[in-house]
Amino acid sequence: MALVPCQVLRAAILLSYCSILCNYKAIDMPAHQTYGGSWKFLTFIDLVIQAVFFGICVLTDLSSLLTKGNDSQEQERQLKKLISLRDWMMAVLAFPVGVFVVTMFWSIYIYDRELVYPKLLDNFIPAWLNHGMHTTVLPFVLIEMRTTHHQYPSRSCGLAAVCTFAVGYILWVCWIHHVTGVWVYPLLEHLTPGVKIIFFAAVTIVINIFYLVGEVLNNYIWDTQK
């Protein structure tokens, strides 16, 4: 028997994301006042994705508890819809985007933090909040994968959805540069147009690889259980 029920873990993780989002939005940073606000940063978008995902997980747990022992077919149908939405979000957004944010951030940070997280930000963002945005995402999503089996969509549909998200965010970053003349991430300032295209293509490929990793890991964990 698990030491902590998975339902309690999900509720705790949801509360932690709500706390991180509230503390992040309360920070008075100049970047929040420019075009696109917080929504130009993939880290913030990922935090919203994770919070919505775990919110759906908690809602699914509550619905499952309420429908237990209930013969209502309508409630069962609604519960199945929630489970399908939860599984789709895990497969297409929560896992690949979350893992991408953590691995890319810390890889670039270790190489040269000024390219992704200038030292100036330490004056605005405390260390615990930085780790809440860029570190704990990974263990949280792995805990969810380990405690709950998620039904992945067909591979073609899943990869198409991940590509749509990646390309959509890249176009959003390019649009912000078109409007403001400034790239969201300092790293992009140092790349030539040709290298930027290669970089964006590589980013899209990497996030698709993380989707496949999530699918393989999910199947491995639960095939082993069976």
Question: What are the sequence ranges of the domains in the chain?
Answer: 6-224
Model confidence, pTM: 0.92
CA–CA distance from 39 to each of 25, 45, 70, 140, 219 (Å)? 11, 6, 42, 22, 33
Separation CA 126–CA 121 (nearest Å): 9
Rg (CA), the chain: 19
Tokens for 84? 């399908």
- State the pLDDT at residue 85: 95
Q: Which residues of 200-209 are buried (b: 16+ CB within 10 A; e: fewer)?
A: beebbebbbe
CA–CA distance from 42 to each of 11, 164, 173 (Å)? 24, 15, 10
Please give the chain's pLDDT, 226 residues, in tens. 344 588 899 999 999 999 999 999 888 888 788 899 999 999 999 999 999 999 999 999 988 887 776 767 777 888 899 999 999 999 999 999 999 999 999 999 999 998 888 898 888 899 999 999 999 999 999 999 999 999 999 999 999 999 999 999 999 999 999 999 999 998 899 899 999 999 999 999 999 999 999 999 999 998 855 5
Q: Are 145 and 105 in contact (CB under 8 A)?
A: no
Sign for the pseudo-dihedral over CA of 26, 30, 33, 34: negative
Separation CA 161–CA 199 (nearest Å): 20
